Amino acid sequence: TQLLEQSPQFLSIQEGENLTVYCNSSSVFSSLQWYRQEPGEGPVLLVTVVTGGEVKKLKRLTFQFGDARKDSSLHITAAQPGDTGLYLCAGAPGGKLIFGQGTELSVKP
């Protein structure tokens, strides 16, 4: 059983569409992180959310931490082909950083 469940696992959309990726858990996290990974590379940290209800924006990406600190979402506005990649959420219960299964996003021109 995954401690962090991500949905959807796969997403294929056209350029210009909006999308939301979800990261859910039954556990409370002190913080959650989002990473993006391109083929053949290691994951790159996008953002860390710490406070329940917090919203952070990174250009066209909006990250939200749930009020109860058990879930998070990533919303991309007007997706572009350059957004293609594997999006991972992560948390550190007990200190060890664990990851969700990831959402494979493909944005077609």
Partner 1 sequence: KAGVTQTPRYLIKTRGQQVTLSCSPISGHRSVSWYQQTPGQGLQFLFEYFSETQRNKGNFPGRFSGRQFSNSRSEMNVSTLELGDSALYLCASRSDSGAFFGQGTRLTVV
Q: Which residues bind partner 1 (CB under 8 A)?
A: 33, 35, 40-45, 48, 88, 90, 94-102
What is the smallest separation between the CB atom of 44 and partner 1, expressed in angstroms? 7
What is the smallest separation between the CB atom of 74 and partner 1, expressed in angstroms? 16
What is the per-residue DSSP string for 14-38?
ETT--EEEEEE-SS--S-EEEEEE-
Residue 43 has φ and ψ, to the nearest 5°, of -60, 145
Residue of 85, 90, 86, 87 whose CA lies nearest to 100 = 90
The total of other beta-carbon atoms located within 10 Å of residue 49's CB is 22
What is the smallest separation between the CB atom of 35 and partner 1, expressed in angstroms? 8
When the beta carbons of 59 and 96 are compared against partner 1, the nearer one is: 96
When the beta carbons of 10 and 109 are compared against partner 1, the nearer one is: 10
